[in-house]
Chains A and B, each alone.
Chain A
Amino acid sequence: MSTARGVAVAAFLAMLHSGFSAREYLRYSKSIGRQDPTLPIEIVLECLISLVIMTVAVVVGVGILRPVSYEAEMKRYSIDGIYSRPSFQVFNHRGRFLRPIADHPAMAEQAVKDKAAS
């Protein structure tokens, strides 16, 4: 992954270089008064090839791609989550009595009371 990133940076620098060369070349042709200057093939090729390399390197270097299908996305959800409706939850349920007695304040209190009563 880090090699891919390095390649991408190198390709990006090459692309910058091709742009810089193009600008220098145009300035040079203007100064010698050449009409209708076209860029030499080396500069065009440098630009295009570095673009291709950079694109591939960036895609490879981005890491594991996630599947694009909606079904793969839906796999992350369970039926309990989809039907849970969190804003309508009610809290007068038996949840507080479902924990083990040892670390349970309400039940421990009750146990103390029961002992006292007996």
Chain B
Amino acid sequence: MSSAAELLSEIRQSSERRPFEVLKLAEPLLNTGKISRAEDVWLVYEQVFTAAIDEGQIELAKTILTILQKRFNDSQRVRRLYGMINEAVGHPSEAKQLYTQMLDADETNVLASKRLIALLKAEGHTKEAISQLVTYLDTHANDFEAWLELCSLYLRHHLYPQAAFCIEEVILQQPANHYFHLCYAEICYTMGNLGTALKEYLRVVELSTDNVRGFYGVKLVADRILDLGNRPKKEQQDAALGDAPQPATLQRLSQLATERLVYAYNRASESSRKAAEAWLKK
């Protein structure tokens, strides 16, 4: 097993979108035919396919699609890839037709309905995409990826309470994943929901040791609550504090966050350490 295949599988499992690296790694495998020796060869093909259309290498994508079609004759997953080529070359209506056909044949085809929503998003019809996604989530309420997508679509329209609701659903499904708590905390902070934001930032640093973004959040929220007394009346009334801790506790939290951040930046480069220290001293 070559290390290129291992790296590819690592990228695939992380589900990060890194088409340039994927193609660079896969090129020698494709040229020498070594790819057929990998144990998850079909997954690698699909990965390279997506990377290829991401990078606009439509010819390569078509070659891979023929290989996949030969192996999986009437697979819905492979038909969807054909629709994705159409999307990439700018024929959204053909892609839409294909996905609708797939849905006519099988209403429960998750991949096709997700592609239809993505098409709406690509065409800029975010509102329709939102309403379609809401209908989709009525049936597939345990699809956290769709909840995240709905959250990001709501955020595009600055609908923070709705976005917060979506993230809450995701947290219900994966309560120990600190990235979702982080997103929720940031949305709450933006809404001025300071009490919840502080709790969620603290949850982030509890679940992930020395999480820099989490400690920045703790410091920002704690300082903002402490500073509320000096702010205009309106802002004081708007801030939802919930059951935020006493000022003494807030001060200690802010101090703790500063201390951990200074520690975290000890390993960073000189310039970024100085910038962070200057900000923390304010």
A78, A93, A105: the one within 8 Å of B16 (CB):
A78
Residues of A within 8 A of B110 (CB): 87
B17, B88, B111, B207: the one within 8 Å of A87 (CB):
B111
Least distance between B265 CB and chain A CB atoms (Å): 19
Question: Number of A-B pairs whose CB atoms are under 8 Å?
Answer: 89
Total interface residues in chain B, CB < 8 Å: 41
Contact across chains for B148 and A77 when beta carbons are under 8 A apart: no
Among residues of A, the one whose C-beta sits closest to the C-beta of B86 is A91
B53, B54, B90, B145: the one within 8 Å of A88 (CB):
B145
Residues of B within 8 A of A42 (CB): none
Contact across chains for A87 and B20 when beta carbons are under 8 A apart: no
Contact across chains for B176 and A76 when beta carbons are under 8 A apart: no
Residues of B within 8 A of A92 (CB): 87-88, 90, 122
Contact across chains for A87 and B16 when beta carbons are under 8 A apart: no
- A84–B207 alpha-carbon span in the complex (Å): 21
Among residues of A, the one whose C-beta sits closest to the C-beta of B17 is A84
Chain B 214-253 residues near chain A, CB threshold 8 A: none
Contact across chains for B114 and A82 when beta carbons are under 8 A apart: no
Bitwise, A56-98 to B at CB < 8 A (1) or not (0) is 0000000000000011001011111111111111111101111
Which residue, A80, A87, A96, has most C-beta atoms of chain B within 10 A? A87
A71, A80, A95, A98: the one within 8 Å of B207 (CB):
A71
Contact across chains for A87 and B115 when beta carbons are under 8 A apart: yes
Known: A90-B118, A106-B56. A74 touches B177 (CB 8 A): yes
- A77–B180 alpha-carbon span in the complex (Å): 13
Least distance between A5 CB and chain B CB atoms (Å): 22
Residues of B within 8 A of A79 (CB): 179, 182
B272 at the interface (CB under 8 A from A): no
Residues of A within 8 A of B84 (CB): 91
Contact across chains for A89 and B148 when beta carbons are under 8 A apart: no
A27 at the interface (CB under 8 A from B): no
Among residues of A, the one whose C-beta sits closest to the C-beta of B16 is A81
Residues of B within 8 A of A23 (CB): none
Q: Which residue numbers of A lie inside 8 Å of B, CB to CB?
A: 70-71, 74, 76-93, 95-99, 105-106
Task: State the 7 A-B residue pairs at the shortest beta-carbon distance, nearest first.
Answer: A96-B56, A90-B122, A91-B88, A81-B14, A87-B114, A81-B16, A82-B179
Q: Could you list 29 examples of A-B contacts with CB < 8 Å?
A: A71-B207, A71-B208, A71-B209, A74-B176, A74-B208, A76-B14, A78-B14, A80-B16, A81-B14, A81-B15, A82-B179, A83-B148, A83-B179, A84-B16, A85-B149, A86-B145, A87-B118, A87-B145, A88-B146, A89-B17, A89-B54, A90-B122, A91-B53, A91-B87, A91-B88, A95-B55, A97-B56, A99-B20, A105-B59
